[in-house]
């Protein structure tokens, strides 16, 4: 398996084998929440339709897909010892937030992803500016091998940035859908305000389920991942459900990096 070239909170690299085991065969894989792309990068469909709400992420993917090795060289120029300092990090973060040039902004997005704290991707609520602090890594890894693999697989992909429902509307017979939405809170109250502010409410979770059922009735299988709790077990009732423990690695508090129960729900 090949790792994604980005660090990505909630990335599915460690679960690819499990997901592949449930993912039905088809000609096209559709991912309305592609994130770091671990699933599409480690599957072999004829075509891919890949969406994400993060426009910076999609622009980076489109730029790498189109420019290939030339863009990789631009990115590599930021991965030198001189730039692995707090001073340069915040300088480049400011430059990223001010830039409208897609190539520069995409290269800086990769730099921030690999040099910022814990691979987080976070924007402030006011101006929508990237605000992840410096990560203080001894030698951030430049993922050239992984980027070259992305270039190869992405020849069969179309990347879009739109509402997830618009992506699901494009599914046709022969498509297979994998949905990795923002997860519901582990409990009814945990992080609920913060979760809501990220733009994917519990009502939208239900909308996603309704779409999954609609697609399945048309012969288009849908696989969803999420936390396993009372809410998800209730709204996914009727699906084929597989539950398992996953160790959380993104928390800044080591004590909170403990196994949590997740699930995969398959609609056929």
In the predicted model, is pLDDT for residue 91 greater than 50? yes
Look at domain 13-54+161-267 and name its CATH class.
alpha beta
Report the 10 Å Cβ neighbour count for 163: 12
Give the pLDDT mean for 50-71: 98
Among 150, 144, 149, 76, smallest CA distance to 107 is for 76
What ranges do the domains of the chain cover?
13-54+161-267, 66-146
Query: What pLDDT digit, counting tens, does each position of 175-231 carry?
Result: 999 999 999 987 655 544 343 335 689 999 999 999 999 999 999 999 999 999 999
Which CATH fold topology does 66-146 show?
Adenine-specific Methyltransferase; domain 2 (1.10.1020)
Q: Is residue 143 within 8 Å of residue 158, measured between CB atoms?
A: no
* Per-chain mean pLDDT for the chain: 92
pLDDT in the model for residue 85: 97
Q: Tell me how far apart the alpha carbons of residues 85 and 82 are, in angstroms, rounded to a whole number.
A: 7
pLDDT in the model for residue 197: 38
pLDDT in the model for residue 186: 78
- Percent of the chain residues past pLDDT 70, beyond the cut: 91
Q: Tell me how far apart the alpha carbons of residues 92 and 101 are, in angstroms, rounded to a whole number.
A: 14
pLDDT in the model for residue 265: 98
Which of 5-19, 70-84, 192-206 is predicted with the least confidence, judged by mean pLDDT?
192-206
What is the Cα 180 distance to its own chain's centre? 8
Q: Which residue has the tokens 């697989």?
A: 153
Q: Which residue has the tokens 């990505």?
A: 8
Q: Is residue 109 within 8 Å of residue 60, measured between CB atoms?
A: yes
pLDDT in the model for residue 28: 98
pLDDT in the model for residue 249: 56
Alpha helices in the chain (DSSP H): 16-22, 38-41, 55-67, 69-76, 86-98, 102-115, 144-153, 164-168, 192-197, 202-217, 230-235
Which of 10-19, 80-89, 190-199, 230-239 is predicted with the least confidence, judged by mean pLDDT?
190-199
In the predicted model, is pLDDT for residue 56 greater than 60? yes
């Amino acid at each position: 398996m090949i790792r994604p070239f980005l660090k990505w909170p909630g990335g599915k690299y460690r679960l690819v084998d499990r997901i592949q085991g449930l993912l039905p065969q088809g000609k096209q894989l559709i991912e309305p929440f592609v994130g770091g792309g671990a699933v599409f990068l480690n599957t072999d469909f004829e075509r891919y339709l890949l969406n994400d709400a993060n426009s910076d992420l999609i622009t980076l993917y489109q730029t790498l897909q189109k420019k290939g090795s030339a863009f990789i060289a631009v990115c590599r120029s930021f991965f030198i010892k001189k730039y692995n300092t707090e001073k340069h990090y915040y300088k480049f973060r400011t430059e990223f937030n001010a830039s409208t040039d897609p190539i520069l902004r995409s290269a800086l997005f990769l730099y921030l992803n690999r040099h910022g704290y814990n691979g987080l991707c976070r924007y402030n609520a006011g101006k929508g500016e990237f605000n992840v602090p410096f990560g203080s890594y001894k030698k951030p890894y430049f993922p050239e091998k992984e980027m070259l693999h992305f270039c190869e697989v992405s020849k069969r992909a179309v990347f879009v940035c739109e509402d997830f429902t618009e992506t699901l509307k494009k599914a046709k017979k022969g498509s297979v859908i994998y949905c990795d939405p923002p997860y519901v809170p582990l409990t009814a109250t945990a992080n609920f305000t913060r979760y809501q502010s990220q733009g994917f409410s519990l009502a939208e979770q239900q909308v996603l389920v309704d779409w999954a059922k609609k697609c399945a009735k048309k012969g288009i299988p849908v696989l969803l991942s999420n936390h396993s709790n009372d809410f998800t077990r209730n709204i996914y009732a009727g699906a084929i459900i597989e539950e398992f423990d996953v160790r959380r690695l993104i928390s800044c508090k080591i004590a909170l990096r403990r196994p949590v129960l997740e699930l995969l729900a398959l609609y056929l």
